Structure 1
Amino acid sequence: MTDPSYLDGNMLDGPLRELFAVDLSTATGRCAHCGTLGELAGLRVYTHAPGLVGRCPNCAEVMLRLVRSPEHAWLDLRGATFLRVPMPAEQPYRSPR
């Protein structure tokens, strides 16, 4: 017997693809350390580490890490409490029925 109260995680493919097809530099995030709210474009990005490290412009704590290989990308946002991404109005998310 299957539980109809949830869907398989594969259903996230479309909504996540839609989400990451936008310009994330205008996305707003909140620093998990000091609570500063601002656009990702305002982060201080360091490139001399393995990958990219985005630090809060207020407290300098790490908010974002992005590491890329030829086959994969790793995105670590544990230094942010949330990431609010502006979405184009013409492509709203539609819930599966």
Structure 2
Amino acid sequence: MSEHDEQSVVDGNAVAGLLSEVFTGDATMFVGTCRRCDAVAVFAEAVVEMDDDAAIVRCRSCTHTLFTVLRDDNSVRLIIGALGEVRPN
């Protein structure tokens, strides 16, 4: 880091604006990268195993679990698996 670069350490609230730029619009059009096989695709192209309580989202190329969405009476949770990157399309 040069003498002109400044770095600050703050709490997670500081990334609210950045996250709102990533997580906007149709989530099925988000582009994800699989850490296992490096495939890059929109979520709409993934393979999903689904029931009333969960959706397991798998990479179409290598079948590793990218992420899992769990739902119960009180909340929805996202568990990250082999998903290496997410970006808007």
| TM-score, structure 1 as length reference | 0.69
Matching residue of 2:24: 21
> Structure 2: which 5+ residue stretches go unaligned?
1-6
| TM-score, structure 2 as length reference | 0.74
Check 1:68–1:16 CA distance in 2 against 1; reply closer, same or farther (3 A cut): farther
**Runs of 4 or more off by more than 6 Å in structure 1?**
none
Q: How does 1:1-97 map to 2 (within 5 A)?
A: 5-48=8-51, 50-86=53-89
Matched residues in 1 for 2:52 and 2:39: separation? 24
Matched residues in 2 for 1:82 and 1:6: separation? 23
Matched residues in 2 for 1:13 and 1:69: separation? 26
Identity of aligned residues (%): 24
Could you say what the CA RMSD is over the residues aligned between the two structures, in angstroms? Answer: 2.2
Matched residues in 2 for 1:75 and 1:17: separation? 17
- Render the CA deviation track for 1:22-73: whole Å, top value 9, x for unaligned: 2111111111111111110000011138400011111111111111234322
Q: What amino acid maps onto 1:54 in structure 2? A: V
How many pairs are equivalent?
Answer: 83
